[in-house]
Amino acid sequence: MATQDRLIESTQELLWERGYVGTSPKAIQQHAGVGQGSMYHHFTGKPDLAAAALRRSAEQMRAVAAADLAGPGTAYDRIAAYLLREREVLRGCRMGRMAQDPDVIADPQLSTPVAETFDWLRGRIAELVAEGQADGELGSGLDPVDTAAAVVAVVQGGYVLARAAGDAEPFDRAVRGALGLLAARRTG
């Protein structure tokens, strides 16, 4: 693996694990197994490297979600596939954790990939809800944008509840609850 990729992957892991402030350049270099010169050869500093890591995390999160949401079945089936996907629940969401980091949110270079990822996700789920309504699968009483926001909030809130409990069960309950609410709005 190229040095630049090792630096980005190490930064992704450390940001997820420790947050922005807890991710020092020295920790990144040690995790990546590279020297200081290598880091500064590829990146101007920690903010530049963190931005590259957040962009890559955003791309990866979108790719996984896109695969779930574009899979086979009805709109409900594809939303369920997204909600039921295997996750490292107790680690939380890479992007969700960054949305809670004040240093990330204060820096537009760092916060933009986070905001854009959640905007994309809500938009894609809203499209599926609207598709389900157009196909007669989901009731017309659902607002696609509000429903999409609720689905994303269930996942993010589920991560928080699970981490607080030290157990994945609160996440699983939140997902089952969201699916139950959506299933109650199915017309078929």
CATH code, 100: 1.10.357.10
Residue with tokens 């990866």: 60
User: Residue 41 domain-assigned?
Assistant: no
pLDDT value at position 14? 97
Q: pTM (2 decimals)?
A: 0.94
User: Count of domains in the chain?
Assistant: 1
Residue 8 lies in a domain: no
Q: Is residue 86 part of a domain?
A: yes
- Is 18 a domain residue? no
Residue 7 is assigned to a structural domain of this protein: no
Q: Would you state the structure tokens that stand for residue 153, as one six-digit string?
A: 């909030």
In a domain, 109, yes or no: yes
Distance separating alpha carbons of residues 62 and 59, to the nearest angstrom = 5
pLDDT tens, 92-128?
Answer: 999 999 999 999 999 999 999 999 999 999 999 999 9
Structure tokens at 25: 């350049």
Biggest CA pair distance of the chain: 62
Domain membership flag for residue 45: no
Question: Taking 80 as the threshold, does the pLDDT of residue 12 lie above it?
Answer: yes
Per the structure, the complete domain to which residue 153 belongs is given by 55-184
